[in-house]
Structure 1
Amino acid sequence: MADTPQRVAIIGGGYAGLACAVDLTRGGAQVTLFERSHTLGGRARVVVKDGHRVDNGQHILIGAYTELARLMRAVGQSPKTLERRPLTLVTPGTLALRAARLPAPLHLAFGLLFAKGLSWADRDAMRGLMRHLKKYGDRIGAHATVAALLHDTAQTPRVIELIWAPLCVAALNTPIERASARVFANVLRDSLMGTAADSELLIPRTDLTELFPVQAARYLATRRGRLDTGTTIAGITRDERGLALTGDSLPSRRYDHVVIATAPYHAGTLLRSAGCDTLADQVDAFEHEPIVTVYLAFDESVRLPEPMIGLTGAPAQWAFDRGALGGEAGLLACVISAHGPHEALSREALEAQVREQLAATLGRTLPDPLWSMTITEKRATIACTPGLTRPGIATPVPGLWLAGDYVDSPYPATLESAVRSGSAVARAILATPRDGETR
């Protein structure tokens, strides 16, 4: 038995499931991954529509998020796939804050000193919040909101509007009035208050499926891992021979471990099939926040001053120049995070409003787009609210595990949280003795 590899089934081909599969395969386990779609990546994937290949959302990483970078290296992805830039927050004509290429904490100190668009009161307020988090960050109450934290640290209205509110909704996908101060503090602590490398922005130069999922699938294929796409798993059963999966045309295999690495709103049904009703109720109770991406394709003369800029007004918070990131020249992606009034607009009205917002921010008239597209992920992430209890990786059923961005983590529901959960499950499985085996 000691020489027999662990047999593991993973349900879900998103970042969490693929991270788990890669680390399990590296550890010698026998892995089969099931994905009901034919496109890998889950809620961070490429979409091909009307002949255009775009992401279903825009994701940025920070240097402190090291686990995804590790896994990308492990599967052979080039580090050049990520555009590494010092922390840069630019809203044309309004704000320009760039971290200096200096060791911490000088990188941020000099960035604040030479920032444009901030008064000395604004800078003092930002430094005050950093000092507060350094002294009390690990003691922030579980039920405190980001809005309360900003009020208690005397942040100015301008700093809140231009920096903290956009950063909060970008990182937590939850507005400051409802977002967890504790989780936001964790993000700021590990990025702005870490090393200069920790605060860097890492922006993908390729689509989200190519960034990691495709490379991970190739890695598994060369190491005898099985990948079954287009396969829907209906349930999970357990008997004395192990865990089994139910669904159409599935072989009658038994597994030592099964990992549920689906989106949380799909996990509940699988958990109930295995008898984990209480855990399923907890997962089903999560609130979700949407992310809308409005793509506007112009001719190649339309460019942004930076690969990523903040936008003034509403409804979008950020715009990405995909042409500057290895994509189609003139293609801009405008991101609207969380719930808001924009949800009541038609697609045409929303795209027109975003185009007007973009033109106002850039201070120029924009031509009619060559084409446009709006992609809405209605349940992109769980709402990162105060007091939220997220499940751990273990379930009440031996050998049954959870992985996903919603699993317990100091960070919000990000790609980094997803891959960290998958890697944590892999470590737990590899450390679990099989019957008749000791570790």
Structure 2
Amino acid sequence: MNTHQHNIAIIGGGCAGLSAAATLTERGYSVTLFEASSQLGGRARTVVVENKDLLQLLDNGQHILLGAYHATLSLLEKAGVKENEAFLRLPLQLNMVSSSAKSIFSLKSVNYLPAPFNMLVGFIFCKGLSFKDRITALTFMRHLQSSNYEIINDKPLVKFLKLHHQSAKLIQMLWEPLCLAALNTPIAKASSKIFLNVLRDSFSGNKKNSDFLIPKLDLSKIISHPLGHYIQARGGSIKLNHRIRTLVEVDNGFNLETRQGTFNFSHVIVATSPARTDKLLEQLPKLKTSRDKTDHYQYQPIYTIYLQYPIETKLPQVMCGLSNTISQWVFDRGELCGEKGLLAVIVSAEGKHQKLTQDDLALKVAKELNQAFPQLPKPLWHKVIAEKRATFSCLPDLARPTNRTAQSNLYLAGDYTYASYPATIEGAVRSGIYCANLISNAS
């Protein structure tokens, strides 16, 4: 392998760009990573917010990883991240609470049994479903396993579930929360095929694949800081506050123009958001009419509402789902990461909440929490972090670019290029590693 002949630029310091850079520097390649902002991490980062004249670090969203995210966990391990320090690992459990303070649905995998029996027995003994619903869910899961979670014709997930006789209650309590958590797309629009891919990875193979991994540290400490150090320790260069203005083909590769100057590279991996990628590729004639376009994409928001309560405030569980509310999931960050009394509420995908002001949304969420958990006092302060275009809408048969482009030595990385997965950290990491492999294999 002639790595010294390769001078590789990676545009974008999110999870895809970081995984590509880490993989290539580990293999001895010369890599320069350009990030337009002042910090790495993309959508998985920590932000500084001001509350009552105090500066506080908060994640830009409350993320959940799955035990099936093997590429992400392996990459973080290489970078020195110890899983037990970085994440709380919970065997799959769904606890749905109503606005009237009642537990209305509870499903736990049976941890002493191997997969898939841990989930099948979990369904038998779950609470909040009729015997008929439990049998229907079990029958459906067995059908998915026997078909290897594959379908020929993609369709909106709600239609697929109804075809398989999943009741309104099963959809509301089980499938819709899982769909929102995995795809961040309303169940009426979401791709059945992609949802089943996530189920397959989670519910087949090792029973730990279905575990939830909830970050116990700031995301920057888990992802961008250790990966940035790993890249630089292996000779990689990271240029923050370097926005790429133009990307053009020249005789010996590509020129990247920034405000700080023009740089030349033999290979380029574009690891920016789909909308930004389209703009970067404008001056490459071979890509004008190619499949690499993403201008047809729609996007979904994620709102994270942080509510600070008195420090003695605790929830019954570290993570609870809420039903018939705007709020979908609530996390006790005091139990997770020592931020005593701080609760994080997730509102995924599009909905009525987008019409509310941030203060009104926080007030609505606080009222919903107070109804579900009557012991909660009034919050001391709130902060809403809105990612308006957090993920692409994961629609049926969505045309998605491949990592290899029609332009020689130019590659695309990002969760939107990993066609079998939704917009997740794992999809982004896999795409970056795949681009690195394409360059290595061509050397």
TM value normalised by structure 1: 0.95
Aligned identity (percent) is 40
How many Å separate the matches in 2 of 1:24 and 1:231? 20
Equivalence for 1:436: none
Aligned pair 1:188/2:199, yes or no? yes
Aligned pair 1:58/2:62, yes or no? yes
How many Å separate the matches in 1 of 2:129 and 2:5? 59
Contact 2:4 2:30 in 1 (8 A): no
Contact 1:271 1:279 in 2 (8 A): no
Cα deviation, residue 365, structure 1: 4.5
Contact 1:405 1:418 in 2 (8 A): yes
Contact 1:91 1:361 in 2 (8 A): no
Q: Which amino acid aligns with 1:65?
A: Y
Cα deviation, residue 192, structure 1: 2.5
Task: Report the more deviating stretch, 164-173 or 93-102.
Answer: 93-102
Q: Unaligned stretches of 5+ in structure 1? A: 434-439
Deviations 1:228-277 (A, max 9, x none): 00111011111111111012112x43211111101111111111122322
Aligned length: 431
Q: Which amino acid aligns with 1:288?
A: Y
Give the counterpart of 1:82 among 71, 84, 87.
87
How many Å separate the matches in 1 of 2:65 and 2:303? 18
How many Å separate the matches in 2 of 1:164 and 1:202? 19
How many Å separate the matches in 1 of 2:292 and 2:70? 32
Alignment of 1:275-290 (within 5 A): 275=285, 276-279=287-290, 282-290=293-301
How many Å separate the matches in 1 of 2:170 and 2:17? 38
Contact 1:237 1:244 in 2 (8 A): yes
Equivalence for 2:368: 357
Q: Point out 4+ residue stretches in structure 1 off by more than 4 angstroms.
A: none
Alignment of 1:35-74 (within 5 A): 35-50=35-50, 51-74=55-78
Aligned pair 1:179/2:183, yes or no? no
Contact 1:142 1:180 in 2 (8 A): no
Equivalence for 1:233: 244
How many Å separate the matches in 2 of 1:304 and 1:111? 24
Give the counterpart of 2:254 among 243, 253, 266.
243
Equivalence for 2:169: 158
Equivalence for 2:146: 135
Cα deviation, residue 169, structure 1: 1.0
How many Å separate the matches in 2 of 1:316 and 1:194? 32
Cα deviation, residue 110, structure 1: 2.8
How many Å separate the matches in 2 of 1:187 and 1:296? 31
How many Å separate the matches in 1 of 2:132 and 2:146? 21
Helix, strand or coil for the counterpart of 2:179?
Answer: helix
TM value normalised by structure 2: 0.94
Give the counterpart of 2:210 among 192, 196, 199.
199
Cα deviation, residue 100, structure 1: 1.5
Helix, strand or coil for the counterpart of 2:147?
Answer: helix
Helix, strand or coil for the counterpart of 2:226?
Answer: helix
Q: Unaligned stretches of 5+ in structure 2? A: 98-102
Contact 1:313 1:357 in 2 (8 A): no
Cα deviation, residue 284, structure 1: 2.0
Helix, strand or coil for the counterpart of 2:417?
Answer: coil
Equivalence for 2:416: 406
Task: Report the more deviating stretch, 222-231 or 298-307.
Answer: 298-307
Closer, same or farther: CA 141–316 of 1 in aligned 2, 3 Å: farther
Aligned CA-pair RMSD:
1.6
Deviations 1:387-414 (A, max 9, x none): 1011100111111110001113211110
How many Å separate the matches in 2 of 1:337 and 1:346? 16
Alignment of 1:4-403 (within 5 A): 4-50=4-50, 51-80=55-84, 81-92=86-97, 93-102=103-112, 103-137=114-148, 139-250=150-261, 252-275=262-285, 276-279=287-290, 282-362=293-373, 364-403=374-413
